[in-house]
Amino acid sequence: MIRKTTEKLLPLNGIELNVDDAGDGPVVVMVMGTGSPGRVWKANQQPALLRAGFRVVTFDNRGIAPSSECGEGFTLDDMVSDTIALIEHLDVGPVLLVGTSLGGRVVAESTLRRPDLVRAQVLMGTYARLGPVQQAISAGERALVDQRITLPPEYHTAITAHLNLSPHTLDDEVAVRDWLDIIEFSGQDKSPGARAQMGVHSADADRRDALRQTTRPTMVVTFADDRTIPPGLSREVAEAIPGARHETVAKAGHWGYLERPDDVNALLLDFLAAHR
């Protein structure tokens, strides 16, 4: 029987984190990407991991309410410290760490800083550096928020879908209408905390050399049709980490864990089971 989920605000690292803790067994801590709450994992990955006998801990990163928004700004190091503080508070290390996009960077840096708290890690759709196009897009997105520019809803919805979904999804006119409805419903408004997260995502430091010091088993998952973090940038992470397993999910964009959940879950379960 799966232990009942508990969700609560925990005082950690000088802020409050909204934490969801469910299941029994080896602990998997999951870190979401820019602007997204931890509950996104509940759509597909958390249920699959619970069924497989894992305990799954998800949380809203600082910047995403009801966790502390910290709208005055924060750094990647702050987010790494939050993740480490959570593992220490729960007294569950070493854990299995999973992150996507910015969450993948948080996971990778957490493993570098405190390898004693990490059994193995999975980095999905992530990067060690941003290329010129990614830097330009990030700068433009921050400028839209800072200048309080609201795009026509139809255009914002379409360009968000274009950047985050696979062409295979976009070509499915039935499925893509559902995605467009979801994106439009989400709106364009950004809280001060979400804006602060966008600044973290834009950090352009090249961490490839640092990643070569990684000592924990790693799987890097690349999404074949990712326009937000192109496969080449994701492959660089796998190439930098000694002995990293590299897998590519076909017909998947930046939201591949939502587009191709069965494929992503199969990879997660295979890798995590080998290191539980």
Domains of the chain with CATH codes: 6-133+191-274 (3.40.50.1820)
The Cβ-side half-sphere exposure at 19, using a 13 Å CA radius, reads 20
- Residue 226 known to be catalytic: yes
Report the pLDDT value the prediction gives residue 203, as an integer from 0 to 100. 53
- Provide the whole-model pTM: 0.95
In contact, 175 and 203? CB cutoff 8 Å: no
Amino acid sitting at position 187: G
Catalytic residue among 101, 110, 166, 234: 101
Among candidate residues 78, 226, 234, 263, the one labeled active-site is 226
Alpha helices in the chain (DSSP H): 45-51, 76-90, 102-113, 132-146, 153-164, 167-170, 173-186, 192-201, 208-211, 231-240, 256-259, 261-274
Respond yes or no: is residue 36 known to be catalytic. no
Sign, CA dihedral 99-259-195-61, equals negative
254 has catalytic annotation: yes
- Tell me the average confidence (pLDDT) per consecutive run of 10 residues in the chain, 276 residues long: 70 97 97 95 98 98 96 95 98 97 97 98 96 92 95 95 96 94 91 92 79 98 97 98 98 97 98 97
Q: How far apart are CA 137 and CA 164, in angstroms?
A: 13
